Amino acid sequence: MRAIDEIPEPETPLKEQLLAFARELSDLHRLERRRSAELEHACEELQGTYEATIRTLALMVEAKDPNTRGHLERAQAFGLELARCIDPRITADPEVGFGFLLHDVGKVGIPESILGKPGPLNEGEWEVVRRHPVLGAQLVEPMRFLGEAIEVIRCHHERFDGNGYPVGLKGEEIPVAARIFSVVDSFDAMTSDRPYRRALTLAHALDELRRGRGTQFDPEVVDMFLVLVERMPWSQEDERGTQGEGRHRP
């Protein structure tokens, strides 16, 4: 075998071609890195624009229905934490969080006289309120980046037993993110003051979730939520509200 130092140098033209090829590869690599950095920056800016749009829509909902101020962000936080406990893959995509935050966006199409009514709603008013999941889905459908969030908005008032709205989906026909959100949405609504009733105590709200286990709510989601609540620092204090009477509205 010939020693390495005995291998002849390439002829000059071939050597120059190899060097030129190496320089071109180096230039292409630098160009690709620059393009990747520019693309990453553009994606970050686009993501920021998406999030700003979502926040703006959420603020519109709260401006329309000030009685639920804070509900959207609390429900989003509860929903994401519960989803992480059930299946961390659910929260891998920001679309789910967007859906949790925008679940009530359809209420921008509901008259303030109904949203803020201090007494019970009549059947006609309930019919108007029940339109908000479909109105919300229609409103955001052109925003393709929302993806699965649209189904959370459309389906968060479906019931596990099939008696919900707007379609009457049942069991696993309901998207899992919507089944998760249904529990936290109801919990936060029950433990918050509303024009038509005082907030329920923590114990009363949890009893309501247990009663709805397997009918209104996915039983596995309720069970996990009960475990999650036990870990919260205020769970033993039961001071989120005082027990009151009133009709729970969506």
The pLDDT tens digits for 117-156 are 888 889 999 999 999 999 999 988 888 878 889 999 999 9
Task: Dump pLDDT digits (tens) for 29-44.
Answer: 677 777 777 667 666 6
Please count the structural domains in the chain: 1
Residue with tokens 């160009």: 31
C-alpha torsion 43→45→47→48, nearest 10: 170
DSSP string covering 185-218: HHHHHHTS-BTTBPPPPHHHHHHHHHHTBTTTB-
Residue 94's pLDDT is 85
Three-class secondary structure of residue 235 per DSSP? coil
| Per-residue pLDDT at 71 | 85
Tokens of 74: 């609390």
Tell me if 2 is assigned to some domain: no
| Structural domain contains residue 238 | no
Looking at residue 242, its pLDDT comes to: 41
DSSP 116: T
Rounded to whole angstroms, how far apart are CA atoms 65 and 107?
8
Residue 110 neighbours by CB under 8 Å, 6+ apart: 64, 65, 128, 129, 131, 132, 135
> Does some domain include residue 248?
no
Tell me what pLDDT residue 64 has: 76
Q: Which of 160, 161, 192 is nearest to 175 (CA)?
A: 160
Q: Which residues pair with 197 in a beta bridge?
A: 194
Using CB atoms within 10 Å of the CB of residue 226, give its burial: 0 to 12 exposed, 13 to 18 middle, 19+ buried. Answer: middle
Strand, coil or helix: what is 118? coil
Q: How far apart are CA 119 and CA 136, in angstroms?
A: 25
pLDDT of residue 10: 52
Q: How many CB atoms lie within 10 A of CB 46?
A: 11
Token digits of residue 166: 């707007």
**The pLDDT of residue 41:** 64
Whichever domain contains 157, its CATH number is: 1.10.3210.10
Specify if 100 maps to a domain.
yes
- DSSP class of residue 92 equals G
CA distance 183 to 82: 10
Low-confidence ranges of the chain (pLDDT < 50): 1, 239-250
What does the block give as tokens for 212?
């709805």
Residue 249 lies inside a defined structural domain of this protein: no
pTM for the model: 0.74
In a domain, 250, yes or no: no
The answer to whether position 102 is within a domain reads yes
How far apart (Å, rounded) are the C-alpha atoms in residues 55 and 102? 9
Tell me, what's the pLDDT at 249?
Answer: 41
**E strands, the chain, where?**
none
State the residue range of the domain holding 209.
10-231
Classify residue 242: in a domain, yes or no. no
d(CA 158, CA 147): 19
Which of 124, 100, 99, 102 lies closest to 111, judged by CA? Answer: 124
